[in-house]
Amino acid sequence: MDDVYTTDGQVTDHVQEAQAEDVSVKTEQSAEQPKSRKAPKKPNIHGDKNRSIRFTLTMMVTLPAVITMLVTLLYARSAMTDGMEQEMIDGLVLMAESIKGGYNETAGDYTLGDDGCIYKGEKNLTPTEESLDIYTANLDADVTLCWGKTRMATTIVQEDGSRAAGTDIADEVWATVQTGETYKTNDIQIFGEEYFAVYVPLENTDGTVVGAVFAGRPCADVSTFINQKVRTLVVLAVIILVICNVVGFFVANVLARVLKKASEMLAALSQ
């Protein structure tokens, strides 16, 4: 009997020890659990607001500058193109009229000789193919002397390297010149190349139009010049834009700090 009671007591003791250990484990786990959890970070509301204010103020400075620069560049290119085209036409008219004026200093009418040369009175105006080269020396331009609609002497060179003498000008050009008016254009193709061109009527003393003086310049030259100027404007615009951005950034920072202090003061007064 004593053995039975002893065994029951041992069982009871073991159960109590197990329960005590279980309670101890749960207590340790509950004690360790708060340590493993990290408290959630509070959002930095003031920092976010400051960054938002800085961004807004910077955009208020930058966006108008960008829009202004783009509009200015577009307008400048358009105005420059129109101005250059008109200046080019005016210069070519002056060139053709100067050549014609030099011819008219010689007395007599314009005639076409049996040798295929154009004469003014007794003076041969086209004795050689190079007769007109003197007018285009050191100039990126071309001149032509026409009898009727046919080029009798010219500085225009064709793809095969020969001069374009003996070829005809466009019918629409000759139709205008025949009326005594100067034909002007900023877009005419001459042997596959775009030209700024003027055709000044060549008249005899009785007013009869017998030919024309042409002066022209390739459009590519003008486009290259305009593009160079536009690139210069773009570089200047970028520099100004960078300066505006830097100034805007510093201004935005100053204003953000001022607004932050004002907000803190109002919050303090409201408490």
Instruction: Enter the tokens of residue 270.
Output: 């409201």
Please give the share of the chain, as a percent, with pLDDT higher than 70: 77
Q: What is the mean pLDDT of residues 33-42?
A: 51
The per-residue pLDDT for 89 is 93
**Strand order, beta sheet including 183-190:** 150-154, 142-147, 209-218, 193-203, 183-190
pLDDT tier for residue 198 given thresholds of 50, 70 and 90: very high
The per-residue pLDDT for 163 is 94
The per-residue pLDDT for 3 is 47
The per-residue pLDDT for 125 is 94
pLDDT tens string 209-263: 999 999 999 988 777 877 887 788 788 878 877 887 777 777 777 777 777 777 7
Asked if 213 and 145 count as a contact pair (C-beta separation under 8 A), the reply is yes
The per-residue pLDDT for 174 is 97
Task: Report H helices in 105-211.
Answer: 133-136, 171-177
Report the mean per-residue pLDDT for the chain.
Answer: 80
Q: How far apart are CA 119 and CA 153, in angstroms?
A: 12
Residue 39 has pLDDT above 80, yes or no: no
pLDDT tens string 2-14: 444 444 455 455 5
The per-residue pLDDT for 54 is 66
Lowest mean pLDDT, pick from 70-79, 108-117, 182-191? 70-79
Lowest mean pLDDT, pick from 20-34, 150-164, 225-239? 20-34
Please give the share of the chain, as a percent, with pLDDT higher than 90: 42
pLDDT tier for residue 139 given thresholds of 50, 70 and 90: confident
Q: How far apart are CA 106 and CA 50, in angstroms?
A: 84
- Tell me the torsion sign for CA atoms 263, 265, 270, 271: positive
The per-residue pLDDT for 263 is 72
Residue 129 has pLDDT above 90, yes or no: no
The per-residue pLDDT for 57 is 65
Closest by alpha carbon to 142, among 124, 119, 164? 164
The per-residue pLDDT for 22 is 54
pLDDT tens string 85-126: 888 999 999 999 999 999 999 999 999 999 999 999 999 999
Burial of 95 (0-12, 13-18, 19+ CB in 10 A): buried
The per-residue pLDDT for 5 is 42
DSSP 3-state percent helix, strand, coil across the chain (nearest 5)? 60, 20, 20
* The CA-based dihedral angle spanning residues 172, 178, 179, 181, taken in that order and rounded to the nearest 10 degrees: 80
Task: Report the predicted TM-score, pTM, of the whole model to 2 decimal places.
Answer: 0.63
The per-residue pLDDT for 20 is 53
Q: How far apart are CA 135 and CA 20, in angstroms?
A: 119
